[in-house]
A and B are shown apart, each in its own frame.
Chain A
Amino acid sequence: MGLLISILTPLLLLPSVSLAPPLSLRTDVDPSSTSSPIDPSEKPSSTTSLEDESELEVRRPTAEKVKRATLPAAHTPAKHGDTSGESWIAQRTMVEDYCGWGWVKKDKESWRQARWVALEGTPRTCPLPHTFLPRPVDDKNYQYRFFGTLAPYRAYEPQADMWVDVFILKGFMSLGPAKEEIRRPPPAQASSGVNRYADRAPNLLRP
């Protein structure tokens, strides 16, 4: 029995020791000296240098940060045009052979409630963000805060025969790369009714 207790006791105590919160760091400073008033001429204490190190850790370039900084979209201005008034969150999304700029939503809305829009710049106030970049695709999956309004008219999407909303851009702020791509397809319902004339074969012109 005594043998069993001597074996089980260390086994029961070991996890409680290993899961215990870490002990506070020891400092080389003499506890008695902490009560003395701080001389302003003294060099910064060891705690300040620790903060510096943590800040260095934050500022240290990681692969992700290097990738973000070298993205062409990093060249878009942080802020451009008239950035006052109502704003929307926008994410650049490119769909092959489909007219439009991407998705926009209000701050409190989810991306599921976002609208697919074609983007129209305001002459002499705010061009489209990608015009600051080498290629229009360079800000793909980049987020912006857009300032402007939805136009009273729509845009025609010729591939899908669709009408899409138009956002008139007055200003924007860059928000950086989006966390993830929006994979929701843009609207694809035909604008006009079923083509009852399509059944009629066109009359070929004889040369």
Chain B
Amino acid sequence: MDRSFWLGPLLLLLFALSAQASEVILISGGPAVRSFEKFKSNSHDKYWGNFIDSALQRVKDLQKEGKNKDKVVWLVFRPSYLSRGREDGQDYLKILEERGALVGAQPIYFDNKNQLLLLLRRDGSIEKPKISRLEYFGHSNKKCWMFDYSNRIDGGALEPLVLHVDDLSQISSSSFTPDAECISYGCHSGEEFSQRWRMIVGRPMIGAVGKTDYSDGGMPKITEGKGGTWVY
């Protein structure tokens, strides 16, 4: 049989595989509990779903833009929603799953840093496609993503539930496509985390200098009047 007979479909299959071989990762950190925060002058997370609504708004925006056909994978830090739900007498996991279903996003839960690092470990295979875009919605300072801020510990986060700049060496640049875009919508990420990410992970990351504000719903903005900006 003629070899060219097989070559066509094989090339088509390879093209299809390469076209599907990357994913968009959206990460939602968890809210604080009100019992720790409600008496503070600078109180966080009056609304439990800041990092859920913003991530789902981003899913909608990506669908509208239509540029990126990659599958959207939505990673959600579960323990904080369970504890905030216990405090408020609500099943927030059920609510966020329902909200995700409205835009076609199903949450994949992680419970600690190690699970997240495992989910970000990619080799480009069909099971573990490379990451073409990564965006983070949650609490952070200039050195750390805190999935668990003021939830189990008042005003802080437990060590296994944060991603510190010292942990970035555990994320491989080979998990990302060469043109991957990364954005952190947490506070102060642009002051150091972004630069360390670029140096260690090898991809530029857009981050905020100053605080970000989720209080208007939807996508976060730089807090007004404090000279903040987005940098990479």
Q: Is A7 an interface residue (CB 8 A)?
A: no
User: When each residue 158-183 of chain B gets 1 if its CB lies under 8 Å from chain A and 0 otherwise, what string results?
Assistant: 11101011100000000000000000
Min Cβ gap B98→A in Å is 26
Q: A99-B154, A157-B156, A192-B166 are in contact. Are A200 and B195 (CB under 8 A)?
A: yes
Q: Is B115 an interface residue (CB 8 A)?
A: no
State in angstroms the CA–CA spacing of A101 and B152 once bound together. Answer: 12
- Whether the Cβ atoms of B35 and A131 lie closer than 8 Å is yes
- Whether the Cβ atoms of B229 and A204 lie closer than 8 Å is yes
Q: Is B232 an interface residue (CB 8 A)?
A: yes
Question: Which range holds the interface residue count of chain B?
Answer: 20 to 34
The tally of residues in A whose CB lies under 8 Å from a CB in B reads 34
- Whether the Cβ atoms of A205 and B206 lie closer than 8 Å is yes
Q: Is A146 an interface residue (CB 8 A)?
A: no
Q: Is B71 an interface residue (CB 8 A)?
A: no
Min Cβ gap B212→A in Å is 14
B156, B199, B229: the one contacting A158 at CB < 8 Å is B156
- Whether the Cβ atoms of B195 and A158 lie closer than 8 Å is no
Min Cβ gap A118→B in Å is 5
Q: Is A155 an interface residue (CB 8 A)?
A: yes
Q: Is A166 an interface residue (CB 8 A)?
A: yes
Q: Is B190 an interface residue (CB 8 A)?
A: yes
Interface of A is mostly: loop
**A82: B residues at CB distance < 8 A:** none
State in angstroms the CA–CA spacing of A118 and B232 once bound together. Answer: 34
Q: How many cross-chain pairs have Cβ atoms below 8 Å apart between A and B? A: 90
Q: Is B146 an interface residue (CB 8 A)?
A: yes
- Whether the Cβ atoms of B156 and A195 lie closer than 8 Å is no
Chain A: CB-nearest residue to B187: A158
**B117: A residues at CB distance < 8 A:** none
Interface positions of B from 102 to 122, Cβ below 8 Å from A: none
Q: Is A161 an interface residue (CB 8 A)?
A: yes
State in angstroms the CA–CA spacing of A9 and B195 once bound together. Answer: 93
Q: Is A137 an interface residue (CB 8 A)?
A: yes
- Whether the Cβ atoms of B159 and A137 lie closer than 8 Å is no
Chain B: CB-nearest residue to A161: B143
Min Cβ gap B103→A in Å is 27
**B162: A residues at CB distance < 8 A:** 156
- Residue among A120, A155, A198, A203 with the highest chain B CB neighbour number at 10 A: A155
Interface positions of A from 94 to 110, Cβ below 8 Å from B: 97-101
**A101: B residues at CB distance < 8 A:** 154
Q: Is B27 an interface residue (CB 8 A)?
A: no
Interface positions of A from 155 to 178, Cβ below 8 Å from B: 155-159, 161, 163-164, 166
- Whether the Cβ atoms of B195 and A197 lie closer than 8 Å is yes
Chain B: CB-nearest residue to A154: B159
6 closest cross-chain pairs (CB), A and B: A99-B156, A202-B231, A99-B155, A158-B141, A118-B153, A197-B195
Q: A155-B158, A192-B164 are in contact. List 4 more A-B contacts (CB 8 A).
A: A120-B152, A158-B144, A159-B141, A161-B143
